[in-house]
Amino acid sequence: MSYYEVNFIEMRIIGCLMEKEITTPDQYPLSLNALVNACNQKSNRDPVTQLSPLEVQDGVDALQARGLVTEISGSHSRVSKYQHRFCNTEFSDLQLSSAETAVVCLLFVRGAQTPGELRSRSGRLHGFQSRDEVEAALQSLHSKTGGPYVCQLPREPGKREQRYQECFCSETERATTTWSEPSSSSSTGDEYTQQLEARVLELEARVRELSERNQVLENASGL
């Protein structure tokens, strides 16, 4: 495995650390609990995961061994916190612009996306003024020394824009993630269906109760 090659969980961890460093600097570095919550949050994540603290800790340990994450122990706290050394630090050879950092971060936490999607989702990370600026950042990441760090995927049927994907996660990891995602979605869908069915039964019971009350009132009034 190369220095920058990561698996899916490691990629999600790095992406979350990069995101929180920019969007919530007052809460960065992150504790393990905060990092687990960031990895599993439902907004701005694709796929939505349910990683356990042990899975995240194993990922952090593997990244620490390669110097991509470091542990910070505060003098006033017993809780260890973690920060990335993936890019833009004195310990990293990978130096990215603000625009490039935003693109990599979004691809890490949301998977392959079009330039239009990257622009619309990057508000808190970088202020792209146009789609051309996004495409310029993508081109820079593709041609950067040591890269390519992103690649263009084949156009999907019926789609106007082509998607871009990061080049840090192995194809085997992506295949595994894609394969396991429907199971998670199916489970979530079944749970949601059960909740809807329970709600329907509750509403039907209330309708019957109201109908019976209405019948009693009609009988009492002689109608």
pLDDT digits (tens, 9 = 90+) for 83-122: 999 999 998 999 999 999 999 999 999 999 999 999 999 9
The upper half-sphere exposure of residue 98, i.e. CA atoms within 13 Å in the direction of its Cβ, equals 10
Phi, psi (5° rounding) for residue 90? -70, -15
Residue 159 lies in a domain: yes
User: Do 196 and 183 lie in a common domain?
Assistant: yes
Task: Give the helix ranges, DSSP H, for 41-163.
Answer: 53-65, 98-110, 115-121, 131-143
How many domains, in total, are found in the chain?
A: 2
Together in a domain, 160 and 190? no
Same-domain check for residues 165 and 175 = no
Q: Does 1 map to a domain?
A: no
Other CB atoms within 10 A of residue 15 CB: 26
Output the domain CATH number for residue 164. 1.10.10.10
Give yes or no: residues 177 and 187 share one domain.
yes
What is the CA angle 36-63-69, rounded to 5? 75
Q: From first to last of its 223 residues, what are the pLDDT tens digits of the chain?
A: 456 899 999 999 999 999 999 999 999 999 999 999 999 999 999 999 999 999 999 999 999 999 999 999 866 668 899 999 999 999 899 999 999 999 999 999 999 999 999 999 999 999 999 999 999 999 999 999 999 999 999 998 888 899 999 999 976 666 555 434 444 444 445 555 555 555 566 566 666 667 766 776 777 776 5
Asked if residue 184 and residue 143 are part of one domain, the reply reads no
* Residue 221 placed within a domain: yes
Whether 3 is covered by a domain: the verdict is no
| Six-digit token string for 135 | 């495409």
Indicate whether 35 and 132 sit together in one domain. Answer: yes
Longest C-alpha distance within the chain, in Å?
Answer: 89
Amino acid code (one letter) for 109: V
Residue 217 lies in a domain: yes
Report pLDDT for 179: 32
* Domain with 161 in it: 8-170
Helices 53-65 and 8-23 sit at what angle, rounded to 10 degrees?
Answer: 90
Collapsing DSSP to helix, strand or coil, 94 comes out as coil
So what's the pLDDT on residue 215?
74
Give the whole-angstrom CA distance, residue 45 versus residue 20.
13
End-to-end CA distance of the chain: 83
The radius of gyration of the chain from alpha carbons, rounded to an integer in Å, stands at 24
- What is the distance, to the nearest Å, from the Cα of residue 87 to the centroid of all Cα atoms in its chain? 19
User: 15 lies in a domain?
Assistant: yes
Q: Which stretch of DSSP H or E encloses residue 150?
A: strand 150-152
Residues 175 and 156 in one domain: no
Q: Is residue 203 part of a domain?
A: yes
Same domain assignment for residues 31 and 140: yes
Using DSSP, state whether 198 is helix, strand or coil: helix
Q: Are residues 102 and 206 in the same domain?
A: no
Q: What sign does the dihedral 55-61-67-69 (CA atoms) show?
A: positive
What's residue 2's pLDDT? 57
**Is residue 134 domain-shared with residue 177, that is, in the same domain?**
no
Alpha-carbon distance of 189 to 194, in angstroms, equals 9
Mark whether 179 and 161 lie in a shared domain: no
User: Do 66 and 155 share a domain, yes or no?
Assistant: yes
Among 38, 11, 62, 13, which residue's Cα sits nearest to residue 176? 11
